[in-house]
Amino acid sequence: MTGRARHENVAGSKEIHGVIVVDKPAGCTSFDVVRRVRKALKVRKLGHTGTLDPLATGVLPLCLNEATKAAAFLAGDDKEYRAVMELGVATDTQDITGAVVMRRDPRGITRSDVEAAAQSFLGTIRQKVPRYSAAKYRGRPYYWWTRQGAGIDTPEKEVTIYEIEIESFSFPSATFRVLCSKGTYIRALCDDIGERLGCGAVLTGLRRTRSGAFREEDALSLDSVAVAADSTLVRNMVIPLKNLMGEYTAVPVDRDSAKKIRDGRQPTRGFFEGAVFPEVQRGELVRLTAEDDEIVAVARVLLSPKEYAGAGDTEQVLRLVRVFNGEH
């Protein structure tokens, strides 16, 4: 996300809409960060796009006010992490905060062994959801059930490891970079690598360096947001709604159509009379944009380009998924 995109936000406005990227410190939960920033910025609505464990640091995008409606679209983005794991030990939480359940001498394991084990997890894999996780079962997180002593077997989920690279190896610890799909548990990955090596491994440090388009260089420290919330610096770091979800094709609408959409009317062919409708495929998500590229809605395409060309003015061509009320 570029500085130019950030500075298009209007500094000093009474109500902020957009995303601010916080560098989450270790030792607090993602909800702790949300609570502090909400209080500091005095925003009505605030949410994040993906939980980080208390152990983890790094990129935590926070959606402010109207931008909370975009959180679901941003949460699906790929993530990049830098992780440190220690060989020869396993814990019940799969990270260093848990109780040790196994120790095994890792001597003899080389950097090449660790690289080969890590590379074996490239691609789409099945990963078991950790027993100590925020994923829910019957309305409660798995960590709650585990602490109650319930012997619930957690499910497996499909995730993708796009890249994994051992950056350094200082026995018995290895630092690696991983690019992965949303929902990947890095501590579970460390546990799997340790099992593959036959000695166990546990996550000892984790930093999220990227979440979709949001990078660590975009991030403000939590203290700077909390202490200088009303400063021009903080407000200018808010990425406005119109600069989000750029991966979706933009479909311009005029002022009259924008009002109809915000009133709940489903878009028909007539909404785009006289406009150049982009060639998008049935099933794709698109951004409906008004003047100054303001986001009006996210919608799903119902017709193929050929079907659209032959549609009548009253035929519905898009199905609204999320409507935005503007940033004013």
pLDDT band at 31 (very low <50, low <70, confident <90, very high): very high
Residues 94 and 171 reside in one and the same domain = yes
Q: What CATH number did the domain enclosing 272 receive?
A: 2.30.130.10
- Is a pLDDT exceeding 50 seen at residue 3? no
The pTM assigned to this predicted structure is 0.87
Do 42 and 130 belong together in one domain? no
Give tens-digit pLDDT for 63-84.
Answer: 999 999 999 898 888 999 999 9
What percentage of the chain has pLDDT greater than the value 90?
76
Does residue 167 sit in the same domain as residue 20? Answer: no
Residue 328 resides in a domain: no
Inter-residue contact 75 to 182 (CB < 8 Å): yes
Are 235 and 289 found together in one domain? no
Place of tokens 């590229």: 293
Give the model's pLDDT for residue 327: 63
User: Cβ atoms within 10 A of the Cβ of 170, count?
Assistant: 9
- pLDDT tops 60 at residue 8: no
Number of structural domains (the chain) is 3
Residue 176 and residue 166: Cα distance in Å, rounded?
4
User: Taking all residues of the chain, what is their mean pLDDT, rounded to a whole number?
Assistant: 91
pLDDT in tens, 108-128: 999 999 999 999 999 999 999
Q: Do 188 and 100 belong together in one domain? A: yes
| Distance separating alpha carbons of residues 221 and 111, to the nearest angstrom | 34
Q: Which amino acid is at 44?
A: R
CATH number at 45 reads 3.30.70
pLDDT at residue 11 greater than cutoff 80:
no
Q: Mark whether 273 and 315 lie in a shared domain.
A: yes
Position 199 in a domain: yes
Q: Are residues 266 and 285 in the same domain?
A: yes
pLDDT tens, 181-205?
A: 999 999 999 999 999 999 999 999 9
Report yes or no on 220 lying in a domain: yes
Asked whether residue 7 carries a pLDDT value surpassing 60, the answer given is no
CATH number at residue 184: 3.30.2350.10
Same domain, 30 and 101: no
CA dist., res. 177 & res. 157, Å (int): 21
Domain that holds residue 317: 248-323
Indicate if 221 and 258 belong to the same structural domain: no
Considering the domain architecture, whether residues 236 and 259 belong to the same structural domain is answered as no
Q: Please give the Cα distance from 223 to 37 (Å, whole number).
A: 9
Residue 100 is assigned to a structural domain of this protein: yes
State whether residue 262 is helix, strand or coil. helix
> Do residue 108 and residue 62 come from a single domain?
no
Q: How confident is the model at residue 2, as a pLDDT?
A: 46
**Which residues have a catalytic role annotated?**
53
| Cβ contacts of 285 within 8 Å, gap of 6 or more | 73, 248, 298, 299, 300, 301, 321
Amino acid letter for position 60 = L
pLDDT band at 230 (very low <50, low <70, confident <90, very high): low
What integer pLDDT is reported at residue 313 of this predicted model? 93
Report yes or no on 134 lying in a domain: yes
Residues 273 and 308 both lie in one domain: yes
